[in-house]
Chain A
Amino acid sequence: QSALTQPASVSGSPGQSITISCTGTSSDVGGYKYVSWYQQHPGKAPKLMIYEVSNRPSGVPDRFSGSKSGNTASLTISGLQAEDEADYYCSSYTSSIFVVFGGGTKLTVL
C-alpha cells in the first residue's frame, strides 16, 4: 500500500492562508469520505485536526478546514499563527480496509 502524496514543505506568513494537498487514488482518498488530518509538534503525539474530509473535532479552531476533489484532499489553514508551525499528515481508509498515511508536510510560519 503506497503512502499518500503530500508536499514535503509549505510556508506562509502570519495571517496568511496555506493549503496542503494529499493525493491518493480512487481506492483510498477518492473512494471514501474517511480522510483525516493530523498536526504533530516536535516530540509530541499527533493530534486530530480534521476527520471525514471536512469535520473539525471539538476544540480545533475554525481556521482549519478540509476539502476533497477527486483523489486529492486538502487542508487549509487561514489566519496563520506561529503555533501552527508543525508537521501535518493526512490519512485515508482504503478499499482493503487498511489505513494509509501521507508522507507528511512541514509547515513553516515565516
Chain B
Amino acid sequence: QVQLQESGPRLVKPSGTLSLTCVVSGDSITTINWWTWVRQSPGKGLEWIGEIYHSGSPNYNPSLKSRVTISVDTSKNQFSMKLTSVTAADTAVYYCARDSRAGMDHWGQGILVTVSS
C-alpha cells in the first residue's frame, strides 16, 4: 500500500532553515499525482504549504511563497521542502501527502518541528 514518511530535524533555530523530506513507498513519484506539504500549528487548523508534480513547477501558498521551496528527487522516490527565515510561528506538525486530484488520499504520520533557540 502507499505510504509516506516525513523526516528531518525536529528542532530548528530562529532565522534558520527548516528542511524536511518525504519518502514515498508503494507508488512511484512519477505517476499522475501531486505531492503536497501541509502543516498544523499546535492546537490549530490545517495550512496548505504547497505541492509539486514530478515534471512541473511547484505551486505555493501565497503567504509562504517567498520562503518555501519544494523539490522532487525521482531517483530516490521522495520530495522535499525547505522553509527559510523561520520563526516561532513556524512551529508545527508538518505532513506530506499525495494528492491524486481525487483528494489528498494518503498522508504521512506527521513530524513535529519546533523553532526555538
Whether chains A and B associate is no
On A, residues with C-beta under 8 Å from B are none
